[in-house]
Each structure stands twice: as C-alpha cells, then as structure tokens.
A and B are shown apart, each in its own frame.
Chain A
C-alpha cells in the first residue's frame, strides 16, 4: 500500500548503513552495544561511547519507557535493570530540570530540559531568561526530536569511507601545519551566525595565530539589513529593541515582531499583556506584503506591495511631521495622527526583509516619536566577510583548506553564487556536519556535529544576556562541537568539550578580577541558565541623517518574489524534524510542503488554482513550485518559503516541497522583481489540515471591538447549567478547567508541538494528513473574515473541552471514555475497542484515532518518549487529557507530603509553552484560582454551549482595538 510505504519510508526506523557503521566503531563494545541494540533500538549509538553513569541510568529509563509501548511492540522486556553504581539523587522515576539554551541564527533562548531517569524527554522555557520568560517556540520544543533523530550524521568519513575522529583531527592539524608557513593564507573557515563569546574568542585566537586565515559568515536568514539601516541612521550598527510593554500604538512594517524576530517570545508576552481593556489596550497596525502572524494579530492590517513600502513610509513621516502626503491611501492620515498623538508611546518596527533605507527611515520616525525603543549593539559576533567573499576567493584560487562549521551552505547558498560548483575546486574540504546533507556529500572530511543539547557552549539572547549551554547527555552519535574543533586547530591535544568554554569564562573572570568567586559564579550561571547581568547596555545614539536626505532604495518592479523563512522549517535546518514537518503552517494549515503564495487577484488573473504547478524564473534561474492562493497576499507579489526541497539530509527532509534558494540572489536575498510565471498544467495535492476557510456564520469564535465591548458582552446569554441526571464533580476534589483568551493567542503553534512532545503524539506522514488523519491533540483553527483581498485572520486553539455532559461518553459501548471525580473526560486506551462512535459524537472533533500503528512506525527511540504517557496502539482512540500525567504527579506528590494542591501546581504542556499566556488551567471550583478569575471575564463563553455539553474549556472572545477614524478591521 502506498500509504504504508510512505509511513515506513518517512518514519520507520530501518537500520540504514549509517546506523550500523556507528556500531562498528565501538572498539571492544560491540557485544555490549549488541544487546542494547536489541533492547532499545536507536539508543544503541548512545552506548557507543565509553560507559558513564548517565548511560546506564538512561538505560533504565529506556526500559521504563519501553514499558509504555502498549501493544505497539511485542511485550516490553521483562527485565529490570540494576545499575552497577548508584549516583546520588539519580533514582528511577525522578524528574529533574537542567538549564541550557537553544539557538536560532546564533541567538539564544533559555530553556529547561526535563529529564526522566536522567534522559531528556521534554523542553520547557526558562522563566529567568529574558528571551523565554518561561515560554518556548515551536523550534525550542522540536529541538528534542532533533536531538534523538537517528538520521543525524553519526560517523567521521573521508570521501564517504569510514574514518576515526583521530584521523580527521590529524588531517586538520596536517593542513594547518602546511599552511602555517604562509601565516594561514589559504585557510578559510565558514560558520553560521553566532553570538558565542567562546567561539568569538577562539576565532580571535585563530586569526591572531594565523593572520592571513579568513573567517566567513553565512546565515540564510541574516539581519544585516537591520544593522545597516541603523548604521545609515546613527553611524554605527545597532539592533532596536522595542519596549512593547510601554507601547500604545505599534506600526509593524513587514515585521516578524511576534513570530520570528529574535526575542519574539518576550515581545508576544508584552504585546499580549496589553490586549485587555483593563491593561490600557494597545493598537497594532501592520503593513506587509505577505500575511504573517503579526499581521493576523493586528487591529488594522494593510497589504502593501514591497515596492510601495518605502514611499508610503516617507509619506507617513511627512504627515507625522505635520506636512502633507500628496495622494495617499485614506487610512494613512488617521494612522499618522494616531502615532503622533501618542508621542513617547508609539513605535515603528521593520522586519529584516526590508532594505536598510526603510530601517533608517523607521529609526528617524521613531526618533521623532520618541518611541520606546532601546538600541543595543548587535549581539551576533560581527562577520567581516560573507559567502560571496568566499566564492570570490575560491574563484581566485586562494582557498586551500575550507572548514565549514555546521549548517548546509551548499543547500542554503543563494543560487546565483554557484557555491556548490566552486566548492569542488577547494582541495581540502572539512565539514562539521549536523546531517549527511548536501555540504557533507560535497566535503572530503565529514565530522559529525554534536547537537547543541549535547555540547558545551555559550550564546547570547536577543538582548545580549549570556547563557552557558551545558550538555544534557553524551553525544548520542559521538559528535564534536565547533569549540572542540577549533580547540584542535589551536593546538589543544585533548578535545575536552568543556575546556574551551570553561577557559574563556575563567579568562573573563580573571580580567574582571573575580577569579576567586569563579566556582560559585560558574555553578550559579549553569543552575540559573543565565550569566547575571550580562545583557547588552543601551546605546545612546542620535540621527546622523535627515529624512529628506534619505535616498529611496531600488524598487523591485514587475512580479516580485519574496523569500521568507518558513514557519516550520525556518531556513531548512529543521527539515528532518517530523514534528515541524507535520506542524500545520499557521496561515495555510499546510503540512509536509511549502507553496508559492500568490494573491487571489493575481491567481484569478492568471487563472491559477491552489495546487497548480508553475515555473518561476528570474534571469537564467528557474524553479517549479505549486501555488497556494493566499488571502491577504499583496497583489503583484509571490512569497517563496525557504527550507524545503532538500535532496540530502535525512529520510524526512528529502523530497519535500521545492527549493527556493535556487532563485535567491545573494545581493537581494529577500525580494526580487521581474520574475516570470508560467503555468505547467500539472497539479500537486497538498496536505492541509483545514479545508473550510470561514466560520459559515456560526458562533464559534467570537470577536468584539473595544468600542462596543460593553453592550456586546452583556448581550451574550449567560451559560445556564442544564439540569442533569448525572452526578456532578466531587465536592472535595478539584474541578479541572481551562480558559483560553483569544485576544492573546497569536496562533504560533508552540502549544501544538509542546503537546506532541509531552504526550507522545505520533507523526503520521503526508498521505495520512491528506486523508484527514493528523493526530494533534491540540489544533489551531484558522478562520478568515471579510474579503479575500484583505481578510481578517482569526485563530482558535481547540483541544478536548472535557465537557461535563460529554456526548462521547454515553455512546461508548465498553466504557472506554468516562468521567472521573475531578471532571476530567478520561480516555482509557487499553479499554478502547475502536468503534469511533465517540468521535462521531464529539461536536468539537477533538478525538484522534490510530488508524494504523503510527507510534510503532516512528523512527524514534523509545527512550525519547515520555515514560509517563501510554504510547497508543493501533485501533484505539486518543485525545487531550489535560496532561493527566502532570495532574497525577502533582496530586500524588501533594498527598504523599500531606500538602494541599496549590493553584499553579499543575501546568499543562500547552500552557507552559504559550508565550502569550493565552491558556490558563486549574481548579475552577476555587474562586481565587487564576482559571476561575479568567472565566469570570465577561467575554468568556463556551463554544457550542447551546448543545448543553457544558465544556470545561471556555474561551474569552477576541478583542480588537480598531482606530475609529479608520473603522473596523480594514
């Protein structure tokens, strides 16, 4: 069957060559690895290393979590492991958290990694970290799956043949010695963007030792435009940090403020906090060419074609200055007045895709508005030269040895650089490879890169705060970190992964004259996951240029192609991550694919339908891509999400979507004009999770504008408890309930991935999603309101409502879904025989069914699963449990220690992940609990309450704050 094939192909853990090679490496450990292999496949690599305590303990954990595989696999092993050596505090069943950080484009988000039996099973945000504040992004959540990905590069190879790390490092030294005479001329290093002080120091040391060596930086999603814009305005590069907590009027121009900007979690937190009438509700205007989450959250969103942005901004500046704008859209004047009227509390934010001039202009306007914006020096280590320079050097024949630290430059280089061809000309190519990706294929030496959760390092957050990253376990695939590799280059003999980081911070302590207190500082930094007051100081900069003097950037004429990072795969680094591949894109609900987003008008004019494959060409470069008709897309522009269409780099990554990098130009990375579009007559079938764009006039997602707040809420019929013959919740037990504030939710999807990670929700693959069998317990419905050209986008997270009169319960013939004393609608997998009547009878359609043995087909080591959640077998129904395992853990702990359960003791996975704090959970019976207070909100309502289901999950209507002078939601 095609579909089973796909599941197998995409997900199944077939023991590919790479797999066994890693075992062959184990000198003297083969037999040992052998039986672990049979015990828990996938973990085998973990034991490739010399044994340490954590391995053995992890092994216990693995047996426990295997015991979770109900029916998915032949009976769990009847074996209880007894460790040789007990470690203090490392007892089975213990749950611990260790602080570290994940990075994206070199910028850190602080996280806490949850360990069950000393192995990472979940990632939570670090409340003390400025970029997290306890929340996580989809990428942070999915990092866990990445860590356990069996497809990661696992062996050192030379020209495809297996070698040992020793040989690889030996070869490196050899090259270095050869080039030493010429002061390192011919030695080139290519890295992604990084903020690591240690790496910066290592780089400095290397350049000092080999003055003529060159270091190039390559980051597909670079923020260079932002810094150049600041340089143009203030004479030095800077990163603006908007203080949204103080902003009343926000104008986001092609801005990723709420979805992708560094620190966006903290921005969402601050923004959402002011989406309530009581909090002095803010107003968000968005101009953008392609719909974004920021646009969806806006009170006024205007689809502005890229070519008009700068001109429009000039007019705005003029209006704010009190001048006239000439002919301009009707809404521009009220907008300008609104901004001007809130001097000191109004700000502009511009996305990195806009040319530097736009940023400069925005800076100048912000200055004029005395906007609550802090300027700091860019936190990323400056890169003096980039990939283009490298290409030039190669072309000039000046590159003898190229060391590529991580990433996949061959794939992610702009098409017009022809990097792949040039690379072949480099005599000695080393790649520190996360995957066996295109770059690894093109390299002579491939050294597996350790995942950042496996390695010692350090990284700065968006505001400069430093986190020292500590490894959560030994490298599963025996990889090395960039620090280790550089240490080797710098002549260190042992490649101790911690040494470089430790040394750097000791050096700093000495420099600061605090050598004595270092040990406490170090322990403290590791425990908190944050180096105390390491945030970047604000820069006090004044404009060096007048608005008038500002030259307009070159505009892209004709059909414009917009290149954007992908909501799920970012720049492609997450392409082999099943959770992210299957995460519906917030606006399109598309999974397992990217699509060329085209405006409805353009599609109509070219008579294109969603799924039609077109040929997009610029100059001699062309790609073929299926189109997706995207409401709200600016006419005359087509958006191409990056990160897809990889041909190497893992079973999941390859052959999904199209590769937009081929059309990308190094000089104009974000937008190009003059593209041609030809229809090819082929169509592809997308796997979207939602097919009905509108609410059909049904009262599911309520919206209210601040103006008519008073009468709106009062107009709603209060939820009157229907008389029921069934017993209610027990008086002396908590009554669990949830409140979701739609005004706060920005639809990012972090809750979906968090839920997937916490509850062992399987990935099912494209074909199954197409058949309507996606398994997410928590989904985010996306509804459009208004016309296709400029619709209003609404998000509604939907999970099991835990109805007090649950329709699913009465129809189950075997009592597999029942109510418990705390009002939870419990799903008993092991009792379910799979009639699916409960799903038919669920008006919210939140139940998911295991049509196949999805969990069994996943290429995921049992050890990576949450041991506290049963892994569901084929033929059983499943659904959201309100994180029952967390409830029980808290309750048992409380009972055991004779304490009462306090509000906030139970935090569901979705709630923990949510940056907007849109989700509140707790005991609704306790009037003082956060959730009870949230439900007291006059805007609180029950979806489909008229059915008498009395859901425990209720929603607060989405509040908007439109400018009366412009009118409701343009």
Chain B
C-alpha cells in the first residue's frame, strides 16, 4: 500500500514540536510581563478632566504651593481636592469669563461639586495616608513626579504593590529635607544630608514597614 506520509513529514513533525515548546514559553512570559505594562498600570497616562487644569502653569508659572489646593495633605489621609471657592479666589478676578472655566463658575453657582477624574487611584483595599508620608520626609514628587512640568496631570508611578514595596523596603533614597517636600523640581545636591542622616532625622523605622497590615485593613 502507498505510504501515508512523505519523507518531509519528519521535519514537519519536529518543527511542530519545537514550535509548541516555544509558544508555551512565550505565552507564559507574556502573562508574567503583562500586568507590569503601562497598558495595565495606566502609567504616564493623562485623563480628560472637566476643566483642563494645568499644574505646570499654576505651580511652575504662578508658583502656587501644593498645599494651597491640597490643604489636608499634612493632616489627613486624603490630600483633599480644592473647593470651587478656592479656584474662585483668583478666578473671580481674572479670566472671569474664560470659556474654559465655565464648569467652575457653574459649580459655585449651582452648588454642585466639580467631578475630577482620579488619576492616581489605589485599589479599594489599600489604605494610603498622605500625612504620614509627608511627616516622614517623602516628598510629593516621589509618587506624583514632576507635577510642575505637567500641563495636564498624569500618573507618574505604576502604583503597583511591588513599586510601593521597593520604597517600604528601603525608604532612605526617597527622603528629602523638610524644605524640599513640596518642591517637585528638587534634586539631591552636595549639601543635602545623606539618606542615612535623613532616616535618623525623621525617625523612620523600617521594621514592620512591609507588614501587610501597614497598608491593608
């Protein structure tokens, strides 16, 4: 009877087997890498806001301090969003009729809150406290990046658990002098106290910083 398979079959069979092996490996690699990708973490992403507020203009340009708008950052877990009236302190005087600011005026007039889209959003089961990070010498920029150079605010860090742990395992490199906490442009200079000194100055203890209970309740 006639042969069912030609001699080429050997090669075909072998290459199929090899392909299967490689394919599986590739799939696993992809599955592992995917969650860390910007696509999943939304890192470096900007979101359309009701008002195209420019941190660059207000911070770098006008020299506003972070706390002018995010007033609770030193006292509370939540940094706080500025009340509409905070915007209006200036914008009742300048750009009073700017089309761009219509939603702001509407908010105050109709007494309905502005609904900003969250850019840096943590999972529901993570309890992050701004005040303690500020108190322990972690500056805004460590998580929020160079806000002063962002025309539109964007997510600067992946905010993945691994990313949080990197700092909780070794906070020293991310500490800065009190004066520089709110300066997103600050860079470590020669006169900056060493990380070790800062650790001492802020009484940062690493023991327990990586306990689950530090962030999860």
State if A and B touch, Cβ cutoff 8 Å: yes
Query: Restricting to A103-136, which residues have a CB under 8 Å from any CB of B?
Result: none
A831 CB to closest chain B CB, in angstroms?
Answer: 8
Measured in the bound complex, the distance between the Cα atoms of B121 and A696 in whole Å is 53
Q: Does B14 contact A (CB under 8 A)?
A: no
Taking the closest CB of chain B, its distance from the CB of A87, in whole angstroms, is 9
Let me know if B212 is at the binding interface, CB within 8 A. Answer: yes
- Kindly state whether residue B40 has any CB partner on chain A within 8 Å: no
Instruction: Assess whether A81 is in contact with B86, with CB atoms less than 8 Å apart.
Output: no
B216/A56 in contact, CB under 8 A: no
CA distance A829 to B213 in the complex (A): 11
The answer on a CB contact under 8 Å between A85 and B85 is yes
Q: In the complex, which residues 850-871 of chain A have their Cβ closer than 8 Å to any Cβ of chain B? A: 868-870
- Contact (A92, B212) CB under 8 Å given A84-B84, A868-B217: no
Q: Does A788 contact B (CB under 8 A)?
A: no
Q: Is the CB of A821 within 8 A of B72?
A: no
CB <8 Å contact, A81 and B115: yes
Complex contacts, A94 vs chain B, CB 8 Å:
72, 76
Q: Is the CB of A86 within 8 A of B208?
A: no
Chain B min CB distance to A881 (Å): 7
Q: What band does the interface of chain B fall in when counting residues whose beta carbon is under 8 Å from A?
A: 35 or more
Within 8 Å CB of B77, what residues of A? Answer: 93
A716, CB-defined interface residue at 8 Å: no
Complex contact A892–B129 (CB within 8 A): yes
Can you list, as one digit per residue, whether each of B102-130 has a CB less than 8 Å from chain A (1) or not (0)?
A: 00000110011111111001011101010
Partner of A884, one of B114, B125, B205, B213: B213
Q: What string of 1s and 0s marks CB contacts (under 8 Å) between B184-205 and chain A?
A: 0000000000000000000101
Q: A79-B117, A83-B83, A85-B85 are in contact. Are A895 and B208 (CB under 8 A)?
A: no
Residues of A within 8 A of B132 (CB): 892, 895-896
Q: Is the CB of A828 within 8 A of B216?
A: yes
B17 at the interface (CB under 8 A from A): no
Q: Is residue B176 within 8 Å, beta carbon to beta carbon, of the partner chain?
A: no
Give the residues in chain A near B71, CB-CB below 8 Å: 91
Give the contacting residue for B207; candidates A70, A85, A732; CB below 8 A: A732
Decide yes or no whether B136 CB sits under 8 A from chain A: yes
CB atoms of B85 and A84 under 8 A apart: yes
A882 to chain B, nearest CB (A): 10
- Complex Cα distance, B205 from A892, in Å, reads 13
Instruction: Quote the shortest CB–CB distance from B191 to chain A (angstroms).
Output: 25
Query: Once the chains are docked, how many angstroms separate the CA of A51 from the CA of B117?
Result: 23
Question: Given A59-B113, A730-B208: A885 and B217 within 8 A (CB)?
Answer: yes
- Within 8 Å of chain A (Cβ to Cβ): is B78? yes
Nearest residue (CB) in A for B115 is A79
> Using an 8 Å CB-CB cutoff, how does the interface string of B75-104 with A read, 1 for contact, 0 for none?
111101111111000000000000000000
Inside 8 A of A67's CB, which chain B residues have their CB? 124
Q: Across the A-B interface, how many residue pairs have beta carbons closer than 8 Å?
A: 136
Q: Are B113 and A824 in contact (CB under 8 A)?
A: no
User: Is B135 part of the binding interface, using a Cβ–Cβ cutoff of 8 Å?
Assistant: yes
Q: How far is the CB of A29 from chain B (nearest CB, A)?
A: 10
Query: How many residues on chain A are close to B (CB under 8 Å)?
Result: 49
Known: A93-B76, A821-B207. A829 touches B216 (CB 8 A): yes
User: Which chain A residues border B10 with CB–CB below 8 Å?
Assistant: none
B142 interface residue per 8 A CB criterion: no
Shortest CB distance B211–A (Å): 4
Overall SS of chain A's interface: loop
| Secondary structure type dominating chain B contacts | loop
Question: Is A562 an interface residue when CB atoms closer than 8 A count as contact?
Answer: no
In the complex the two chains form, is A829's CB within 8 Å of B85's CB? Answer: no
Expressed in whole angstroms, the minimum distance between the Cβ of B213 and any Cβ of chain A is 4
Partner of A733, one of B112, B118, B136, B208: B208
- Contact A70 to B124, CB < 8 A, known contacts A91-B76, A730-B208: yes
Asked if A68 is at the interface of the complex by the 8 Å CB criterion, the answer is: yes
In chain B, what residue has the closest Cβ to A820?
B211
The minimal Cβ–Cβ distance linking B138 to chain A, given in whole angstroms, is 12
Report if A82-B127 is in contact (Cβ < 8 Å); known contacts: A820-B213, A830-B216: no
User: Once the chains bind, are B124 and A68 in contact (CB under 8 Å)?
Assistant: yes
Q: Are B131 and A892 in contact (CB under 8 A)?
A: yes
Partner of A64 from the list B78, B107, B111, B117 (CB cut-off 8 Å) is B78
Does B135 contact A896, Cβ atoms closer than 8 Å? yes
**B11-32 contact mask (Cβ, 8 Å, vs A): 1 or 0:** 0000000000000000000000
Within 8 A of A (CB), among B19-71: 71
A78 with B76: in contact, given A84-B84, A824-B213, A892-B129 (CB under 8 Å)?
A: no
Indicate whether A12 reaches chain B with its CB closer than 8 angstroms.
no
Interface string of A54-93 (1 = CB under 8 A from B): 0010010000100111110001101111111110000111
Q: Are B116 and A93 in contact (CB under 8 A)?
A: no
Write the chain B residue with the least CB distance to A831.
B212
A881 and B135 within 8 A (CB): no
Q: List 8 A-B contacts (CB under 8 A).
A: A70-B125, A78-B117, A84-B113, A86-B85, A93-B78, A820-B211, A826-B216, A895-B203
Q: Which 3 A-B pairs have the closest CB atoms?
A: A93-B76, A821-B208, A820-B211
Q: Which residues of A contact B (CB under 8 A)?
A: 32, 51, 56, 59, 64, 67-71, 75-76, 78-86, 91-94, 730, 732-733, 818, 820-822, 824, 826, 828-831, 868-870, 881, 884-885, 888, 892, 895-896, 898
Given contacts A82-B115, A822-B211, 18 further A-B contacts (CB under 8 A): A56-B113, A70-B123, A82-B114, A84-B113, A91-B72, A91-B78, A93-B77, A733-B207, A818-B212, A820-B208, A820-B211, A826-B212, A828-B216, A870-B216, A888-B127, A895-B203, A896-B131, A896-B135
